[in-house]
Amino acid sequence: MDEELRFRAALVDSFVSRLRHLTPKQLDEIATAHRLDDKFYGLALELAGEATQLVGRDRASDFEVTMRDRLSEVERILPREPHADTRGACDLAKGAVQALLARDIASFNAGAFAKLYGPFASHITLADVENDARLNLRREAR
Protein backbone atom coordinates (compact mmCIF):
# COMPACT_ATOMS: atom_id res chain seq x y z
CA MET A 1 0.00 0.00 0.00
CA ASP A 2 1.49 3.35 -1.01
CA GLU A 3 1.59 6.43 1.24
CA GLU A 4 -1.38 8.10 -0.41
CA LEU A 5 -3.63 5.08 0.02
CA ARG A 6 -2.34 4.57 3.56
CA PHE A 7 -3.49 8.12 4.38
CA ARG A 8 -6.87 7.56 2.71
CA ALA A 9 -7.31 4.32 4.68
CA ALA A 10 -6.39 6.16 7.88
CA LEU A 11 -9.04 8.79 7.08
CA VAL A 12 -11.66 6.09 6.70
CA ASP A 13 -10.52 4.32 9.85
CA SER A 14 -10.85 7.57 11.78
CA PHE A 15 -14.33 8.15 10.35
CA VAL A 16 -15.42 4.60 11.19
CA SER A 17 -14.07 4.98 14.72
CA ARG A 18 -16.16 8.09 15.18
CA LEU A 19 -19.23 6.36 13.73
CA ARG A 20 -19.12 4.01 16.70
CA HIS A 21 -19.80 6.95 19.01
CA LEU A 22 -22.94 8.20 17.29
CA THR A 23 -26.11 7.54 19.23
CA PRO A 24 -29.08 5.71 17.72
CA LYS A 25 -30.93 9.05 17.76
CA GLN A 26 -28.14 10.73 15.76
CA LEU A 27 -28.07 7.86 13.26
CA ASP A 28 -31.82 8.11 12.86
CA GLU A 29 -31.57 11.87 12.27
CA ILE A 30 -28.93 11.27 9.60
CA ALA A 31 -30.99 8.60 7.88
CA THR A 32 -34.31 10.40 7.93
CA ALA A 33 -32.79 13.60 6.54
CA HIS A 34 -31.73 11.91 3.30
CA ARG A 35 -34.31 10.82 0.74
CA LEU A 36 -33.95 7.78 -1.53
CA ASP A 37 -34.95 9.70 -4.64
CA ASP A 38 -31.91 12.00 -4.47
CA LYS A 39 -30.44 11.49 -7.94
CA PHE A 40 -27.36 13.57 -7.18
CA TYR A 41 -26.42 11.22 -4.34
CA GLY A 42 -26.54 8.26 -6.75
CA LEU A 43 -24.43 10.15 -9.25
CA ALA A 44 -21.88 11.00 -6.55
CA LEU A 45 -21.63 7.29 -5.68
CA GLU A 46 -20.96 6.48 -9.32
CA LEU A 47 -18.26 9.15 -9.50
CA ALA A 48 -16.57 7.74 -6.40
CA GLY A 49 -16.51 4.27 -7.91
CA GLU A 50 -15.13 5.56 -11.20
CA ALA A 51 -12.50 7.68 -9.47
CA THR A 52 -11.00 4.70 -7.67
CA GLN A 53 -10.63 2.97 -11.03
CA LEU A 54 -8.78 5.95 -12.52
CA VAL A 55 -5.84 5.67 -10.14
CA GLY A 56 -4.23 3.12 -12.44
CA ARG A 57 -4.61 -0.59 -12.89
CA ASP A 58 -1.90 -1.48 -10.38
CA ARG A 59 -3.32 0.79 -7.65
CA ALA A 60 -7.00 0.14 -8.38
CA SER A 61 -6.85 -3.32 -6.83
CA ASP A 62 -5.36 -1.89 -3.62
CA PHE A 63 -8.14 0.71 -3.52
CA GLU A 64 -10.75 -2.04 -4.06
CA VAL A 65 -9.39 -4.18 -1.21
CA THR A 66 -9.17 -1.18 1.12
CA MET A 67 -12.71 -0.12 0.26
CA ARG A 68 -14.15 -3.61 0.63
CA ASP A 69 -12.52 -4.03 4.07
CA ARG A 70 -13.79 -0.67 5.32
CA LEU A 71 -17.31 -1.16 3.94
CA SER A 72 -17.47 -4.52 5.73
CA GLU A 73 -16.48 -2.80 8.96
CA VAL A 74 -19.29 -0.24 8.53
CA GLU A 75 -21.77 -3.07 8.00
CA ARG A 76 -20.56 -4.74 11.22
CA ILE A 77 -21.08 -1.67 13.38
CA LEU A 78 -24.22 -0.04 11.96
CA PRO A 79 -27.71 -1.47 11.79
CA ARG A 80 -29.03 -2.00 8.27
CA GLU A 81 -32.57 -0.80 8.72
CA PRO A 82 -33.40 1.75 6.05
CA HIS A 83 -36.57 3.72 6.42
CA ALA A 84 -39.22 3.27 3.74
CA ASP A 85 -38.32 6.41 1.79
CA THR A 86 -34.77 7.18 2.97
CA ARG A 87 -31.35 5.56 2.82
CA GLY A 88 -30.32 3.92 6.05
CA ALA A 89 -27.40 5.20 8.13
CA CYS A 90 -25.35 2.17 7.08
CA ASP A 91 -25.74 2.94 3.37
CA LEU A 92 -24.99 6.61 3.96
CA ALA A 93 -21.87 5.72 5.97
CA LYS A 94 -20.71 3.48 3.16
CA GLY A 95 -21.12 6.43 0.78
CA ALA A 96 -18.99 8.58 3.10
CA VAL A 97 -16.32 5.85 3.15
CA GLN A 98 -16.23 5.85 -0.64
CA ALA A 99 -15.99 9.65 -0.64
CA LEU A 100 -13.04 9.63 1.74
CA LEU A 101 -11.22 7.09 -0.39
CA ALA A 102 -11.94 8.94 -3.66
CA ARG A 103 -11.35 12.45 -2.30
CA ASP A 104 -9.10 14.61 -4.49
CA ILE A 105 -8.79 12.04 -7.26
CA ALA A 106 -9.03 14.00 -10.51
CA SER A 107 -12.53 12.94 -11.62
CA PHE A 108 -14.11 13.12 -8.15
CA ASN A 109 -15.14 16.71 -7.48
CA ALA A 110 -15.83 18.60 -4.28
CA GLY A 111 -19.58 18.61 -4.94
CA ALA A 112 -19.68 14.83 -5.12
CA PHE A 113 -17.60 14.59 -1.96
CA ALA A 114 -19.94 16.98 -0.13
CA LYS A 115 -22.99 15.00 -1.26
CA LEU A 116 -21.60 11.73 0.11
CA TYR A 117 -19.94 13.05 3.27
CA GLY A 118 -22.60 15.68 3.95
CA PRO A 119 -25.02 13.53 5.94
CA PHE A 120 -22.32 13.10 8.62
CA ALA A 121 -20.66 16.52 8.47
CA SER A 122 -22.51 18.00 11.44
CA HIS A 123 -21.71 14.98 13.64
CA ILE A 124 -18.24 14.00 12.42
CA THR A 125 -16.20 16.95 11.20
CA LEU A 126 -13.77 16.37 8.40
CA ALA A 127 -11.08 18.33 10.24
CA ASP A 128 -11.30 15.94 13.21
CA VAL A 129 -11.15 12.92 10.89
CA GLU A 130 -8.07 14.32 9.15
CA ASN A 131 -6.32 15.22 12.41
CA ASP A 132 -6.94 11.75 13.85
CA ALA A 133 -5.69 10.10 10.67
CA ARG A 134 -2.44 12.10 10.68
CA LEU A 135 -1.90 11.42 14.37
CA ASN A 136 -2.49 7.69 13.94
CA LEU A 137 -0.10 7.52 10.98
CA ARG A 138 2.59 9.31 13.02
CA ARG A 139 2.10 6.82 15.86
CA GLU A 140 2.43 3.90 13.45
CA ALA A 141 5.64 5.35 12.00
CA ARG A 142 7.36 5.36 15.41
Q: What pLDDT does 14 receive?
A: 96
Better-scored residue on pLDDT, 18 or 90 = 18
End-to-end Cα separation, the chain, in angstroms: 18
Model confidence at 131: pLDDT above 70:
yes
Q: What pLDDT does 123 receive?
A: 94
Model confidence at 15: pLDDT above 90:
yes
pTM of the model: 0.88
Average of per-residue pLDDT values in the chain: 86
Q: Reduce the DSSP state of residue 49 to 3 states and report it.
A: helix
Q: What pLDDT does 4 receive?
A: 87
Structural domain including 10 reads 3-141
- Specify the number of domains making up the chain: 1
Q: Grade residue 1 by pLDDT with cuts at 50, 70 and 90.
A: low
Phi-psi region of 132 (alpha: psi -120 to 50; beta: other; left: phi over 0): alpha
For 109-134, what is the mean pLDDT? 93
